[in-house]
Amino acid sequence: MPDPAAPAIILSEPQLGENIGACARAMANFGLRDLRLVKPRDGWPNPKAEAMAVGAAPLIAAAQIHGSVDSAIGPLRLVFAATARDRAMAKPVLTPTEAARRLREAASNSIPTGVLFGNERAGLTNDEVAIADCVVTIPTAGFASLNLGQAVLIMGYEWFKSGNATSSERIDHGAAQPAPREDLIRLFEHLEEELEKGGFLFPPGNRPGMIRNLRSILHRAQLTDQEVRTLRGVIVALTRGKKRNPSPGGR
């Protein structure tokens, strides 16, 4: 579901339709939908942009076309310029994470925002950077060759993350829940009883530590109800038809 307060993505003089389409797809993945094109080189509409956009076709259809960056950003109140290199113009340079945080903060105050990207060949001109509030630069290793679609992808990803409450770790249980402790305890007891019979818990002095280690392994696995039943079946299968009570230590 696209967020009405999400930033506009403004592409200044983009060259290849494929790249415009790739930007639209990157945007759609992260809930951005306001695409503004300043003087696209190959005119508009552009069938290659439409072909590359695939499922993001509505963004392409709704894209605004402008004759200048000033017109494209005119109604916006907070504008960041995405650049790969420093311009020595005493302007704050933000990480994408920090930029997304500020865009999200502005959005929550209903302040219209946008991020401006230059063309594939040369990026933004210094004049274009000068009219932005801040610069956003994606940190990269020595080798830096992010293309336009990749830069929009990362900015979109950070935007989405800044408002997304996915917990950093969740367990994909499907319908299943972590097993109740009582079922785990019965599993432990079943296993330990069979290990006792098999002479594994020997010598007796080591028994408490061995049991703690085994229980710790099984706890760490965060078993579901079904998995507890599966492991009980495993124990039954492993012990079926087994000779009982071998001599202690005979494991």
Among 173, 212, 242, 251, binds a second copy (CB under 8 A): 173
Nearer to a second copy, 17 or 96 (CB): 96
Nearer to a second copy, 94 or 201 (CB): 94
Among 74, 75, 143, 181, binds a second copy (CB under 8 A): 143
Pairwise CA distance, residues 158 & 149, whole Å: 14
Shortest CB 31 distance to a second copy, Å:
4
Does residue 33 contact residue 26 with C-beta atoms inside 8 Å? no
Beta partners for residue 116, in sequence order: 10, 81
Distance of CA 53 to the CA centre of its chain: 21
244 contributes a contact to a second copy by CB under 8 A: no
Site for a second copy in 184-223 (CB under 8 A): 222-223
DSSP element (H, E) containing 229: helix 225-239
The 15-54 site mask, x for binding a second copy (CB under 8 A), equals ----------xx-xxxx----------------------x
CA separation (Å) from 3 to 8, 96, 161, 230?
A: 11, 18, 13, 45
The 53-92 site mask, x for binding a second copy (CB under 8 A), equals -xxx-----------------------------xxxxxxx
Shortest CB 122 distance to a second copy, Å:
18
Does residue 117 contact residue 148 with C-beta atoms inside 8 Å? yes
Shortest CB 162 distance to a second copy, Å:
11
CB within 8 Å of 124: residues ≥ 6 apart: 12, 81, 82, 83, 116, 117, 118
Residue 112 structure tokens: 């219209």
SS3 of 12, please?
strand
Residue 167 has phi, psi (to 5 degrees) of -75, 150
Nearer to a second copy, 220 or 243 (CB): 220
227 contributes a contact to a second copy by CB under 8 A: yes
Length of the chain: 251
Shortest CB 231 distance to a second copy, Å:
13
Which residues form the interface with a second copy (CB under 8 A)? 1-2, 25-26, 28-31, 54-56, 86-95, 97-98, 134-135, 138-146, 150, 153-154, 157, 160-161, 164, 166-176, 222-224, 227
